[in-house]
Amino acid sequence: MLELQSRLTPKGTKPLSRDEIYETVLDRRLGYSKGLGWGLKPKVHKKASASSSSTSCSLLAVHGKLQLRDALDQTLQWIEEQTREHDALASEVE
């Protein structure tokens, strides 16, 4: 690459750009991805950072607490219904 950069260029022409040097050295063309063909390159997915991981864990914890609260509310409602039914049956027996 350094050799291509240091080559003298004819008067009136620009030196090779970095992309042109890559094209020459690597025998690749801009916009072409080996194995993928022409067009846009796929987006690179970054790994989750520590802060996004902790946020995700916090959201899961909150979601779990909400589910537990719903289950507790349903259980308390069921207990109240059972208590009313028990009291009604007990009053019939007396």
Residues 15, 20, 21, CA angle at the centre, nearest 5°?
85
38 contacts 46 by C-beta, under 8 angstroms: no
9 contacts 15 by C-beta, under 8 angstroms: yes
pTM above 0.75, yes or no: no
- Give pLDDT tens digits for 9-64: 666 677 777 777 766 766 655 566 666 666 666 666 666 565 667 777 888 888 88
